[in-house]
Structure 1
Amino acid sequence: MNLAKYLCYAAVGTLALASCKQGPPTSTKPGKYSSTTGLEYNTEQGMKVADYQGIPEGPGLVFIEGGRTVLGSSEEDVAMTRDNVERTVTIASFYMDEAEVANIHWLEYLHFVRKDSAEEFYQSALPDTTVWARELSFNDPYVDYYLRYPGFRYFPVVGVSWLQANDYCTWRTAKVNEKLAGEGDIEDGGGKKKGGGLFGKKKNADAPADAAVGAEGTGKSKIAIENGNTLPNYRLPTEAEWEYAAQALIGTQETGNENQENKRIYPWDGRQMRNPYGKKMGQFLANFKRGRGDYAGIAGSLNDGAMITEYVYAYPPNDYGLYNMSGNVNEWVQDIYRPLSFQDEEDLNPFRRNGFLDKAEGYDKKGYQSLIDDHVRVFKGGSWKDVAYWLSPGTRRFMAEDSATAAIGFRCAMINAGSNK
């Protein structure tokens, strides 16, 4: 054996021993050298590889372990829409807010928007509090007090359109990542620190509107994704994610196999709406309209206890630890509405972002024969003013993305970046 071959075999053996000793590289332990080129990281010529300990903890989020499920309505289709027929899909793991976004969170948003952004955007971010006003009902006090009175701080924000909810997600992403990156400062392309407004600049502000959200390709201020010290975007959940999280079938999983004991009609076991166990036996498990004219029960023995909305942490959470996935308020999701989404979407992370395969031209909105176009969005979950039928996760409705009501709120979600678990 010549010397060159001997040295080659010796080098391979050394690398093999090192590999056996240290194990294969991982995201959190990539090693000092590239496993394909042997070049050293973090040198003058080598690539910079930042320390990474996993995705940072996102405020307010709960981990939702993904998997296979059957989406679709489990209740009788009383409206005969046939717009959510059962089908098997797989949903990747993700994160979701444990509770609905509350009034105090929206007031915080308004505080920073007014401080950092243009007055025009501040005005557009204000919820429509007149959604409480009814010609034949005395709900007038809620118009003035529901959003701002301290007693309603942790009640779900309402009067918010789908478009406004998306803007909130963008702002929340920026604020959380600014904090993670260091007291609200972000790094520009030249390594300098700077801050700036999000939605339209104040006078004399020099940061671009998209700086704080880390927009790629601007050549200006951004947070480097490669550093791994910031969170992915907060966003509205897809309809499939929302429905999967509401089902919480992880609570019916048998240990050691892939069987589930039962399919749930609601986010809890059984067909009943009342708690069948313990000291709270007989208490309703959600905030909904029990019947015509009956929103809460009788004085001295109020059951669901809420004539309108309720504290976002009221009622027992489901098996993922999520509160009020049925009742209290309906919740916006990302998807545009189409009645045949169930047959068009893919079976891995299904999502309808536009009219692909089902064009808006097929719906006669101009002729008043349809309400469907590319600007109507799905909402889910039932609310304080809905009957029990709409509390089933498989039911779905839609409304224009720029509209708002006193019965629709939202919560945020986030991908589980870099992991399948």
Structure 2
Amino acid sequence: MKFSNYLCLAVLGLGALASCKSGPPTAAKPGKYSSTTGVEYNTEKGMTVASYKSPPEGPGLVFIEGGRTVLGSQEEDVTMTHDNIERTVTIASFYMDEAEVANIHWLEYLHFIRTDSAEEFYKSALPDTMVWARDLSFNDPYVTYYLRYPGFRYFPVVGVSWLQADDYCTWRTAKVNENLATGASSGSKKSKKKKKGDDAVAEGGAEGAAGKAGAMGDGKSTTSIENGNTLPNYRLPTEAEWEYAAQALIGTQEVGNENQEEKRIYPWDGRTTRNAYGKKQGQFLANFKRGRGDYAGIAGSLNDGAMITEYVYAYPPNDYGLYNMAGNVNEWVQDVYRPLSYQDVEDLNPFRRNGVLDPADKYDKNPVNGKGGYQSLIDDHVRVYKGGSWRDVAYYLSPGTRRFMAEDSATATIGFRCAMINAGSNK
């Protein structure tokens, strides 16, 4: 008899020999007995070990295989901020929404919280439709129709602050897990790969989601982490995750070549913003402002075809299957803004939290005794946004560019999408 079988006999007894012969235990096949104590699972004396195959699939998500990359600006730093210098990092695999959160999704959110939350919270979740209003521009129809008119259902929601987007992620986590608990079909497009890995960057954690979910009228879910039948939190992606996913360098990588020999200025190949291949050759690959006063081109020969925002699936996806990682709307990310984050954060899953290094009181934002102040816009309540929008020039379409805005502010050019950790595997 092999030594491994002798060991099984010694530790577990004859009753466990069969499980040892089947190989080492795994998450899906932990065996009948504990491999450290020999105590039988799922008995009066043993621990309950639920059956487990794989986590449920998160609606709307695409799997992003992690790895090593070089983050940082790929374009000339025309703003002279020098706030995203190139550096090598590793990003753990994660999941991200394939498209921006659209008006119909936000209306669904408003529908549910109006029935199971306080009126005060419902009002706090309403987007600021006045972001379209301009004193010297006739954008009045967008103020009234953009959010609610059926034709705009799958245009990205705008007028949403970082705080509102963060609340939406919490609600979505609770609602999806509530749906799983009832055994109802999601009715959504399934994620393109099963959830497998782990990540360690989201603020709040499961406890935070559960706490907010209770305030939003959930708290009835029968799913649990131990049973493996609950999804991790939907959340805003970290800046590093967002930039990595926008690069989509997996599309340039040769199998077996561990060197990253290709770079991209935009989320697609080449140095231009036009499609270089096929029947759509010459067409724009993103919705952005081509030049002063040029939002869409000329009638009969429109370039990107969109005067404002556009259908969230309007342009070709990148090599991860993500739509509009450049243009259409900028997108909120998790990180607090600091100009030196690139040199402060760690090189594994980099992420900038509140109150860690580079304190806000070093920035001259507020006046002291009526003197000084307002020399900076930076504090612990400004968040990074990425990607460029329908109103931005091509410079901001590059994944490495970064800007920031107060977390309680909103514009007609910023939306968001959700992300989720990859729980249970390193792949």
Q: Shared fold (TM-score greater than 0.5)?
A: yes
Residue 257 (structure 1) aligns with: 257
TM-superposed CA distance for 1:182, in Å, is 1.1
Q: Deviations over 1:331-366 (max 9, x none)?
A: 000000000000000000000011311000110001
CA distance in 2, matches of 1:403, 1:17: 63
The equivalences for 1:358-397 within 5 A come to: 358-366=358-366, 367-397=373-403
CA distance in 1, matches of 2:410, 2:403: 14
Q: Deviations over 1:268-287 (max 9, x none)?
A: 01111000000000000000
Taking a change above 3 Å as real, the CA distance of residues 256 and 20 of structure 1, as seen in their structure-2 partners, is: farther
Residue 242 (structure 1) aligns with: 242
The equivalences for 1:79-90 within 5 A come to: 79-90=79-90
Kept in 2, the 8 Å contact 1:162–1:403? The answer is yes
Corresponding residue to 1:11 among 9, 12, 30: 9
CA distance in 2, matches of 1:199, 1:406: 31
Taking a change above 3 Å as real, the CA distance of residues 211 and 18 of structure 1, as seen in their structure-2 partners, is: farther
Corresponding residue to 2:407 among 401, 407, 412: 401
The equivalences for 1:332-351 within 5 A come to: 332-351=332-351
CA distance in 2, matches of 1:43, 1:79: 65
CA distance in 1, matches of 2:147, 2:177: 27
Q: Deviations over 1:367-402 (max 9, x none)?
A: 000000000000000000000000000000000000
Residue 127 (structure 2) aligns with: 127
Q: Deviations over 1:35-77 (max 9, x none)?
A: 1111111111211111111121000000000000000001111
Residue 229 (structure 1) aligns with: 229
TM-superposed CA distance for 1:264, in Å, is 0.7
Residue 28 (structure 2) aligns with: 28
Amino acid at match of 1:125: A
TM-superposed CA distance for 1:10, in Å, is 8.9
Residue 190 (structure 1) aligns with: none
SS at match of 2:215: coil
Unaligned 5+ residue runs, structure 2? 185-209, 367-372
Kept in 2, the 8 Å contact 1:91–1:241? The answer is yes
Residue 4 (structure 1) aligns with: none
Bigger Cα displacement from structure 2, 86-95 vs 14-23: 14-23
TM-superposed CA distance for 1:224, in Å, is 2.2
TM-superposed CA distance for 1:21, in Å, is 3.0
Residue 417 (structure 1) aligns with: 423
Residue 325 (structure 1) aligns with: 325
CA distance in 2, matches of 1:395, 1:363: 22
SS at match of 2:170: helix
SS at match of 1:34: coil
Kept in 1, the 8 Å contact 2:178–2:218? The answer is yes
TM-superposed CA distance for 1:104, in Å, is 0.1
Kept in 1, the 8 Å contact 2:19–2:32? The answer is no
The equivalences for 1:183-198 within 5 A come to: none
TM-superposed CA distance for 1:83, in Å, is 0.3
CA distance in 1, matches of 2:30, 2:233: 25
Q: Deviations over 1:145-164 (max 9, x none)?
A: 00000000000000000000
CA distance in 2, matches of 1:170, 1:400: 20
SS at match of 1:68: strand
Unaligned 5+ residue runs, structure 1? 1-6, 185-197, 201-206, 215-220
Residue 204 (structure 1) aligns with: none
Alignment of 1:169 onto 2:169: yes
Give structure 1 regions of 4+ aligned residues with deviation exceeding 6 angstroms: 7-10, 13-17
| TM-score, length-scaled by structure 1 | 0.89
Q: Deviations over 1:244-296 (max 9, x none)?
A: 00000101111112123411110001111000000000000000000000001
Taking a change above 3 Å as real, the CA distance of residues 349 and 18 of structure 1, as seen in their structure-2 partners, is: same
CA distance in 2, matches of 1:302, 1:330: 22
Percent identity at matched positions? 84
Taking a change above 3 Å as real, the CA distance of residues 75 and 292 of structure 1, as seen in their structure-2 partners, is: same
Amino acid at match of 1:381: G
Residue 57 (structure 1) aligns with: 57
Kept in 1, the 8 Å contact 2:16–2:32? The answer is no
Amino acid at match of 1:373: D
SS at match of 2:226: helix
| TM-score, length-scaled by structure 2 | 0.88
Bigger Cα displacement from structure 2, 279-288 vs 252-261: 252-261
Amino acid at match of 1:411: R
Kept in 1, the 8 Å contact 2:161–2:409? The answer is yes
Residue 187 (structure 2) aligns with: none
Q: Deviations over 1:186-236 (max 9, x none)?
A: xxxxxxxxxxxx999xxxxxx94277369xxxxxx8742101101000000
SS at match of 1:399: strand
Amino acid at match of 1:380: K
Kept in 1, the 8 Å contact 2:117–2:216? The answer is no
CA distance in 1, matches of 2:15, 2:347: 42
Taking a change above 3 Å as real, the CA distance of residues 16 and 224 of structure 1, as seen in their structure-2 partners, is: closer
TM-superposed CA distance for 1:135, in Å, is 0.4
CA distance in 2, matches of 1:165, 1:147: 15
Kept in 1, the 8 Å contact 2:131–2:412? The answer is yes
Kept in 2, the 8 Å contact 1:170–1:213? The answer is no
